[in-house]
Amino acid sequence: MDKHITTPITAEVTQNLYAGDYIYISGTVYVARDAAHKRFMEALDRGEELPFPIQDAIIYYMGPSPAREGRSIGSAGPTTASRMDKYAPRLLDLGQKAMIGKGKRTQEVIDAIIRNQAVYFAAVGGAGALLSKCIKASELVCYGDLGAEAVLKLEVEDFPVVVVIDKDGNNLYETAIRKYAK
Protein backbone atom coordinates (compact mmCIF):
# COMPACT_ATOMS: atom_id res chain seq x y z
CA MET A 1 0.00 0.00 0.00
CA ASP A 2 1.20 3.52 -0.79
CA LYS A 3 1.24 5.91 2.18
CA HIS A 4 2.51 9.40 2.87
CA ILE A 5 4.04 10.17 6.24
CA THR A 6 5.52 13.28 7.83
CA THR A 7 8.27 13.48 10.43
CA PRO A 8 8.70 13.13 13.36
CA ILE A 9 8.10 9.38 13.27
CA THR A 10 6.19 8.77 16.48
CA ALA A 11 5.01 5.37 17.73
CA GLU A 12 1.62 6.41 16.45
CA VAL A 13 3.04 6.61 12.92
CA THR A 14 4.86 3.27 13.08
CA GLN A 15 1.68 1.53 14.30
CA ASN A 16 0.29 1.84 10.79
CA LEU A 17 3.36 0.79 8.83
CA TYR A 18 3.60 -2.79 7.61
CA ALA A 19 6.38 -4.69 5.86
CA GLY A 20 5.86 -4.23 2.12
CA ASP A 21 4.20 -0.79 2.35
CA TYR A 22 5.49 1.78 -0.12
CA ILE A 23 6.03 5.01 1.81
CA TYR A 24 6.71 8.62 0.83
CA ILE A 25 8.45 10.54 3.63
CA SER A 26 8.34 14.31 4.01
CA GLY A 27 10.06 16.37 6.69
CA THR A 28 13.38 16.23 8.53
CA VAL A 29 15.79 13.34 8.10
CA TYR A 30 19.24 13.08 9.72
CA VAL A 31 22.13 11.55 7.78
CA ALA A 32 24.83 9.46 9.46
CA ARG A 33 26.90 6.45 8.50
CA ASP A 34 29.85 4.43 9.84
CA ALA A 35 32.28 6.99 11.22
CA ALA A 36 29.54 9.28 12.57
CA HIS A 37 27.89 6.39 14.42
CA LYS A 38 31.22 5.53 15.98
CA ARG A 39 31.46 9.11 17.27
CA PHE A 40 27.88 8.99 18.58
CA MET A 41 28.84 5.98 20.69
CA GLU A 42 31.96 7.70 21.97
CA ALA A 43 29.93 10.80 22.87
CA LEU A 44 27.35 8.70 24.73
CA ASP A 45 30.13 6.82 26.55
CA ARG A 46 31.48 10.14 27.77
CA GLY A 47 28.01 11.06 29.01
CA GLU A 48 27.53 13.74 26.34
CA GLU A 49 24.40 14.56 24.35
CA LEU A 50 23.96 13.43 20.77
CA PRO A 51 24.38 16.24 18.20
CA PHE A 52 20.66 16.20 17.27
CA PRO A 53 17.41 15.29 19.04
CA ILE A 54 17.18 11.51 18.75
CA GLN A 55 13.58 11.14 19.99
CA ASP A 56 11.35 10.03 17.07
CA ALA A 57 14.15 10.79 14.60
CA ILE A 58 14.88 9.09 11.28
CA ILE A 59 18.50 8.34 10.49
CA TYR A 60 19.35 7.86 6.82
CA TYR A 61 22.46 5.73 6.32
CA MET A 62 24.03 7.69 3.50
CA GLY A 63 27.14 9.52 2.34
CA PRO A 64 26.37 11.85 -0.56
CA SER A 65 28.59 12.86 -3.43
CA PRO A 66 29.47 16.59 -3.36
CA ALA A 67 26.81 19.06 -4.50
CA ARG A 68 27.39 21.02 -7.70
CA GLU A 69 26.89 24.79 -7.50
CA GLY A 70 23.32 25.79 -6.80
CA ARG A 71 22.24 22.35 -5.65
CA SER A 72 21.46 21.16 -2.13
CA ILE A 73 23.19 17.80 -2.47
CA GLY A 74 24.86 15.41 -4.91
CA SER A 75 23.92 11.79 -5.54
CA ALA A 76 22.27 10.52 -2.36
CA GLY A 77 21.26 6.86 -2.22
CA PRO A 78 21.33 4.49 0.77
CA THR A 79 24.38 2.62 2.01
CA THR A 80 24.43 -0.92 3.47
CA ALA A 81 22.69 -0.81 6.85
CA SER A 82 24.36 -3.88 8.36
CA ARG A 83 27.51 -1.87 9.07
CA MET A 84 25.46 0.16 11.55
CA ASP A 85 24.00 -2.94 13.25
CA LYS A 86 26.49 -2.66 16.05
CA TYR A 87 25.27 0.83 16.93
CA ALA A 88 21.57 0.84 16.00
CA PRO A 89 20.04 -0.89 19.08
CA ARG A 90 21.53 1.67 21.48
CA LEU A 91 20.13 4.57 19.43
CA LEU A 92 16.72 2.91 19.07
CA ASP A 93 16.61 2.46 22.85
CA LEU A 94 17.29 6.19 23.17
CA GLY A 95 14.24 7.04 21.07
CA GLN A 96 15.25 6.85 17.41
CA LYS A 97 12.22 5.52 15.56
CA ALA A 98 13.27 4.92 11.99
CA MET A 99 16.24 3.94 9.85
CA ILE A 100 16.64 4.24 6.09
CA GLY A 101 19.24 2.06 4.43
CA LYS A 102 19.48 -1.07 2.35
CA GLY A 103 20.24 -4.69 3.12
CA LYS A 104 19.82 -7.18 5.94
CA ARG A 105 19.81 -6.44 9.69
CA THR A 106 20.87 -8.62 12.61
CA GLN A 107 18.46 -10.21 15.07
CA GLU A 108 19.68 -7.71 17.72
CA VAL A 109 18.49 -4.83 15.54
CA ILE A 110 15.19 -6.56 14.78
CA ASP A 111 14.66 -7.13 18.52
CA ALA A 112 15.38 -3.45 19.18
CA ILE A 113 12.89 -2.48 16.45
CA ILE A 114 10.16 -4.55 18.13
CA ARG A 115 11.11 -3.38 21.64
CA ASN A 116 10.85 0.27 20.61
CA GLN A 117 8.05 -0.02 18.03
CA ALA A 118 10.42 1.37 15.42
CA VAL A 119 10.74 0.73 11.67
CA TYR A 120 13.43 -0.06 9.09
CA PHE A 121 12.93 1.36 5.63
CA ALA A 122 14.89 0.51 2.49
CA ALA A 123 15.49 3.03 -0.27
CA VAL A 124 16.57 1.83 -3.71
CA GLY A 125 20.31 1.25 -3.73
CA GLY A 126 22.08 2.73 -6.72
CA ALA A 127 19.38 5.30 -7.45
CA GLY A 128 21.23 8.21 -5.86
CA ALA A 129 20.54 10.68 -8.67
CA LEU A 130 16.80 10.03 -8.54
CA LEU A 131 16.63 10.14 -4.73
CA SER A 132 18.56 13.42 -4.63
CA LYS A 133 15.61 15.09 -6.37
CA CYS A 134 13.49 14.53 -3.22
CA ILE A 135 16.03 16.32 -1.02
CA LYS A 136 15.09 19.99 -0.88
CA ALA A 137 17.68 21.24 1.62
CA SER A 138 20.78 19.95 3.34
CA GLU A 139 22.79 21.43 6.19
CA LEU A 140 25.80 20.26 8.12
CA VAL A 141 25.06 19.28 11.72
CA CYS A 142 28.56 18.23 12.80
CA TYR A 143 31.73 16.20 12.09
CA GLY A 144 32.51 18.16 8.90
CA ASP A 145 36.03 16.72 9.05
CA LEU A 146 34.58 13.34 8.07
CA GLY A 147 33.81 14.63 4.56
CA ALA A 148 31.24 12.32 2.95
CA GLU A 149 30.58 10.80 6.40
CA ALA A 150 29.55 14.05 8.12
CA VAL A 151 26.20 14.32 9.92
CA LEU A 152 23.60 16.22 7.87
CA LYS A 153 20.09 17.46 8.42
CA LEU A 154 17.93 17.07 5.32
CA GLU A 155 14.54 18.39 4.38
CA VAL A 156 12.91 15.81 2.15
CA GLU A 157 9.69 15.76 0.15
CA ASP A 158 7.98 12.52 -0.83
CA PHE A 159 11.17 10.55 -0.37
CA PRO A 160 10.32 7.00 -1.55
CA VAL A 161 11.08 4.00 0.69
CA VAL A 162 9.70 0.53 1.35
CA VAL A 163 8.97 -0.81 4.84
CA VAL A 164 11.28 -3.82 5.16
CA ILE A 165 11.06 -4.53 8.90
CA ASP A 166 7.97 -3.28 10.72
CA LYS A 167 7.27 -2.77 14.43
CA ASP A 168 6.27 -6.43 14.81
CA GLY A 169 9.49 -7.68 13.24
CA ASN A 170 7.94 -8.78 9.93
CA ASN A 171 10.77 -8.86 7.42
CA LEU A 172 10.02 -8.22 3.75
CA TYR A 173 13.46 -9.48 2.66
CA GLU A 174 12.46 -12.93 3.91
CA THR A 175 8.84 -13.06 2.84
CA ALA A 176 9.27 -11.53 -0.63
CA ILE A 177 12.14 -13.85 -1.56
CA ARG A 178 10.03 -16.88 -0.65
CA LYS A 179 7.26 -15.61 -2.87
CA TYR A 180 9.43 -15.46 -5.98
CA ALA A 181 11.83 -18.38 -5.37
CA LYS A 182 11.26 -21.12 -7.92
Partner 1 sequence: MIRTISTEEITKNIRQMCIEANHYLSPDMEKTLKDAVETEESPLGKKILNQLQENLMIAGEEMIPICQDTGMAVVFVEIGQEVHLEGELLEDAVNEGVRQGYVDGFLRKSVVGDPILRENTKDNTPAVIHYSIVAGDKVKLTLAPKGFGSENMSRVFMLKPADGIEGVKQAILTAVKDAGPNACPPMVVGVGVGGTFEKCALLAKQALTRPVDEHSQNPYIKELEEEMLEKINRLGIGPGGLGGTITALAVNINTYPTHIAGLPVAINICCHVNRHVVREI
- The site for partner 1 (CB under 8 A) is made up of 20, 22, 35, 62-68, 74-77, 79-80, 82, 102-104, 122, 124-130, 132-133, 146-149, 160, 162, 164, 172-173, 175-182
Q: Which is nearer to partner 1, 2 or 12 (CB)?
A: 2
Q: Are strands 98-101 and 58-60 parallel, antiparallel or unpaired?
A: parallel
Burial 72-82 (b: 16+ CB within 10 A, else e): bbbbbbbbebb
Q: CB of residue 76 vs partner 1: minimum separation in angstroms?
A: 6
DSSP 22-44: EEEEEEEEEE--HHHHHHHHHHH
d(CA 106, CA 76): 24
In whole angstroms, what is the distance from residue 53 CA to residue 88 CA? 15
Give the nearest distance from C-beta 113 to partner 1 in angstroms. Answer: 16
Q: What are phi and psi of 130, to 5 degrees?
A: -60, -50
> Could you tell me the smallest distance in angstroms from the CB atom of residue 115 to partner 1?
23
53 versus 126: smaller Cβ distance to partner 1: 126
Q: For partner 1, which is the closer residue by CB, 89 or 128?
A: 128
Least Å from the CB of residue 8 to partner 1? 25
Q: Residue 37 phi/psi, 5° resolution?
A: -60, -40
Nearer to partner 1, 8 or 20 (CB): 20
Tell the smallest beta-carbon distance from residue 45 to partner 1 (Å). 19
Minimum CB distance to partner 1 smaller for 56 or for 105: 105
